[in-house]
């Protein structure tokens, strides 16, 4: 029986709260995610590295999971 490869997940990340008043490390994490301005949305693959970054700035961003069509 052939295994069904799972559809890869992507994360839609939107910057919703200003990083003013937060640490430089959190600001750097926001920049490393590719976010440059408030209310900007970027799309990343769902990887452990991205999940770890999001855990550090979860109070500043909104994350939505999506399935990618093959």
Q: Any idea what the CATH number is for the domain that residue 13 is in?
A: 3.30.1390.20
Tell me the three state secondary structure of residue 69: coil
Residue 69 is assigned to a structural domain of this protein: no
Measured distance CA(28)–CA(49) in Å, rounded: 15
Residue 70 lies in a domain: no
The sheet with strand 61-67 has its strands ordered as: 41-45, 9-15, 61-67
- CA dist 27 and 55 (Å) reads 14
Domain count, the chain: 1
Q: pLDDT digits over 23-65, tens only?
A: 999 999 999 999 999 999 999 999 999 999 999 999 999 999 9
**Local confidence band at 3 (pLDDT 50, 70, 90 cut-offs):** low
47: which 2 tokens? 């990887």
Range of the domain at 44: 9-64
């Amino acid at each position: 029986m052939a295994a069904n490869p799972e559809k890869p997940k992507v994360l839609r990340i939107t910057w919703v709260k200003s990083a003013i008043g937060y640490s430089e490390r959190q600001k750097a994490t926001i920049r490393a995610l590719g976010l440059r301005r408030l209310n900007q949305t970027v799309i990343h693959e769902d990887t452990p590295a991205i999940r770890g970054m999001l855990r550090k700035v979860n109070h500043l961003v909104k994350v939505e999971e999506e399935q990618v069509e093959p």
